[in-house]
Structure 1
Amino acid sequence: MPSTVDRPAQRYVAERATVGIEEFPRIADRLPPLIGSLAGHGIVPAGAPFFRYRVLHPGLRFTVEAGVPIEGGFTPDEPAFLGEIPAGKYVLETYVGAPGGLASATEAVLTWGAREGVTWDVTEGPDGEEWGGRMEVLRTNPLEQPDPSQWVTDLLFRLAD
């Protein structure tokens, strides 16, 4: 059962792409170079890397950011950019398993929210659903745990103010 958590605003460095499910590795593969770039500047990530879903387009396409939380100021080289996850109340559900199960886990949270009368921080925009805070936080380092069935991912959905 999902829980509700308060989260402070969080600065991050990210890259953004619009991809379909089959193209998702194109954005996922940007995380290691982002982390490496930060390390090259002496910056230690302030938390686990994540994917932030900005727009859910029709036809199973997403505008998604691959991001790494940071503290303090930093100006990344393009195409990376600085962003900020907004503070607020979030619904949290932790998923354990391979990435192929994330869509079902996400759908379960959204179904639960509909049953509970939850109002998400989402608006209908010209290109699809625009989310203020919808993330998959990658709690497991695949280099330390190579078995995808053991990977831990926090699903976070910001509630409307």
Structure 2
Amino acid sequence: MTSATHASPRIVERPAQPYIAVRARVTMATVDTIAHRIPEVLGRVAALGAKPAGPPFLKYNLIDMARQLEIEAGVPVIDAVAVDGDLINGTLPAGRYASYLHTGSPSTLVQANALLLDWAADRGLAWDMTPTEAGDRWACRLESYRTDPREQPDTAQWETALEFKLAD
């Protein structure tokens, strides 16, 4: 079993941030299909002349664990640029976020998500999320990948920032 280390969760203020992404509807069994598009998105963003403003991410918009998830694979950019094909422009909303830096294999992110959700519940914090018939619609629920696998092949050393927007 791969071990993981954790920093303490905390609340952070984030400014609004433009981003470029691709969006897909996937199931829990096929989440990797959108995650594997991150290198493609990074290449396409560079080809458009956009400057990344941070690490690539997965943004979970709609979550229904039994059926489908709507997820975006993207990268924050300094300034929005015109996009083509299936690329979209978006803005990560400003506000307070519960933040958690996880070090460990991506296979341990389920436990890291649960830890962050429990931490917030213990403090009475509410998510900026609306339950719908199609699933839970999140204002912003990010997994930002801070480690480049080409530079760090040991997955136990990979850092992922979880940042979930809190209700105002």
TM-score range, shorter chain: over 0.9
Deviations 1:121-160 (A, max 9, x none): 0110120111001100100011111111110000001110
Q: Does 1:148 align with 2:155?
A: yes
Give the TM-score taking structure 2 as reference length.
0.91
Unaligned runs of 5+ in 1: none
Contact 2:128 2:140 in 1 (8 A): yes
Cα distance in 2 for residues equivalent to 1:24 and 1:58: 11
Q: Of 136, 142, 160, which residue of structure 2 is paired with 1:129?
A: 136
Superposition deviation, residue 60 in structure 1: 6.1
Superposition deviation, residue 41 in structure 1: 2.6
1:1-161 equivalences in 2 (<5 Å):
1-59=8-66, 61-161=68-168
Secondary structure of the residue aligned to 2:120 is helix
Superposition deviation, residue 21 in structure 1: 2.6
Q: Structure 1 vs Structure 2: percent identity of aligned residues? A: 40
Give the TM-score taking structure 1 as reference length.
0.95
Tell me which amino acid in the other structure corresponds to 2:86. P
- Aligned residue-pair number: 161
Deviations 1:14-57 (A, max 9, x none): 01112123212210121111111122233221110001010111
Tell me which amino acid in the other structure corresponds to 2:120. G
Secondary structure of the residue aligned to 2:143 is strand
Unaligned runs of 5+ in 2: 1-7
Cα distance in 2 for residues equivalent to 1:157 and 1:73: 23
Give the superposed CA RMSD.
1.2
Tell me which amino acid in the other structure corresponds to 1:104. Q
Secondary structure of the residue aligned to 1:90 is strand
